[in-house]
């Protein structure tokens, strides 16, 4: 008997915050949430597939490195944060499987053997699996930012959930760099998150996906996301969720805005398919 893994959208926070002592207190709830997330899974995953808001390409692109390097895609942080290492292995086998699933669904995925772990990847995974003992593959967003297309990508990837693979979309429910730390941003971010929460909690998957495709009709949508790079990972996760209803697994409040993380398909402890990646 197999057990389907849940899928997650996580709000990963700002830069390499777990590695900066002055930032950690403000992210205490997020740190606890990420650290406790593995206990919500049916088993230790064979591998993790991450769609990060920090990687977009002309076409959907899969990382194939056996030993991915690091991507220090942030500015103005302490010098030691540019020497962080998260030495998780890649998984060429999982990368090949992802590529096949996407191709079979009519996409034309590319591969990238050089892509490394950006902070949307190593921040949550460094807290979830600090021993870096779970292989990690990354999938880019497509720079056209077509929400419906990203949902269809997630739908193509759904079989991985029955193969012991944890799918994580990593972004933020609010991502306006000019709005952080401003009290006037609080009601804006809360109203937009309320729309997202209503969408993901729809019992009907089509209704949920329609709401997500129409995200720009949400209150203050473009104030919450001037660019949707940190929102699109949620679309992929929603597609992979299939008929599973979502819920907010935790919501932190940082820099005057809520940062929500969502779970679809909560399960109890059970065995999963022994497919090896």
For the stretch 196-253, pLDDT in tens is 999 999 999 999 999 999 999 999 999 999 999 999 999 999 999 999 999 999 999 9
**Residue-level pLDDT at 271:** 45
Q: What is the DSSP letter of 5?
A: P
- Residue 11, strand partner residues: 171
| 2 pLDDT higher than 70 | no
Q: List, in sequence order, every beta strand (DSSP E) within the chain.
A: 7-11, 47-52, 56-57, 61-63, 110-112, 136-138, 141-142, 165-171, 246-254, 257-264
pTM: 0.96
Residue 198 burial (CB count, 10 A): 12
Q: How confident is the model at residue 267 (pLDDT cuts 50, 70, 90)?
A: confident
- Counting every residue, how long is the chain? 277
Superfamily of domain 7-264: LigB-like (3.40.830.10)
| 269 pLDDT higher than 90 | no
**Exposed/middle/buried for residue 160 (C-beta within 10 Å: 0-12, 13-18, 19+):** buried
For the stretch 124-150, pLDDT in tens is 999 999 999 999 999 999 999 999 999
The Cα–Cα gap between 40 and 248 comes to 13
For the stretch 68-93, pLDDT in tens is 999 999 999 999 999 999 999 999 99
**Exposed/middle/buried for residue 188 (C-beta within 10 Å: 0-12, 13-18, 19+):** buried
Q: For tokens 């389907």, name the residue.
A: 4
For the stretch 47-61, pLDDT in tens is 999 999 999 999 999
Q: How confident is the model at residue 266 (pLDDT cuts 50, 70, 90)?
A: confident
Angstrom CA distances, 277 to 2, 92, 99, 134, 177, stand at 17, 8, 14, 10, 37
**Residue-level pLDDT at 270:** 42
Q: Which residues contact residue 7 at a Cβ distance below 8 angstroms, ignoring those fewer than 6 apart? A: 161, 166, 167, 168, 169, 237, 240, 241, 244, 263, 264, 265
Residue 17 and residue 100 in contact, taking contact as beta carbons nearer than 8 Å: no
- Give me the residue spans of the domains in the chain: 7-264
| 277 pLDDT higher than 80 | no
**Residue-level pLDDT at 57:** 98
């Amino acid at each position: 008997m197999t057990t389907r893994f849940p899928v997650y959208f996580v709000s990963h926070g700002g830069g390499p915050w777990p590695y900066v002592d002055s930032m950690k207190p403000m992210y205490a709830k997020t740190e606890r949430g990420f650290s406790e997330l593995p206990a919500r899974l049916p088993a230790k995953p064979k591998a993790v597939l991450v769609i990060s808001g920090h990687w977009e390409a002309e076409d959907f692109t899969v990382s194939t490195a056996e030993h991915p390097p690091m991507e220090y895609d942030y500015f103005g942080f302490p010098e030691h944060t540019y020497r962080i290492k998260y030495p998780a292995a890649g998984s060429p086998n999982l990368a090949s499987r992802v590529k096949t699933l996407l191709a079979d669904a009519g996409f034309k995925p590319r591969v990238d053997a050089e892509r490394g772990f950006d902070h949307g990847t190593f921040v949550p995974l460094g807290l979830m699996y600090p021993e870096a003992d779970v292989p990690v593959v990354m999938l880019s967003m497509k720079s056209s930012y077509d929400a419906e297309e990203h949902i269809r990508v997630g739908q193509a990837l759904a079989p991985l959930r029955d193969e012991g693979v944890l799918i994580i979309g990593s972004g933020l429910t609010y991502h306006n760099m000019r709005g952080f730390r401003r009290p006037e941003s609080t009601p804006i971010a809360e109203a937009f998150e309320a729309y997202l929460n209503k969408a993901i909690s729809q019992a009907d998957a089509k209704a949920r996906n329609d709401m997500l495709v129409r995200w720009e009709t949400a209150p203050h949508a473009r104030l919450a996301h001037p660019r949707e790079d940190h929102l699109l990972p949620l679309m992929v996760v929603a597609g992979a969720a299939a008929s599973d209803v979502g819920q907010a697994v935790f919501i932190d409040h940082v820099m005057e805005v809520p940062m929500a993380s969502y779970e679809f398909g909560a399960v109890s402890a059970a065995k999963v398919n022994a497919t090896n990646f």
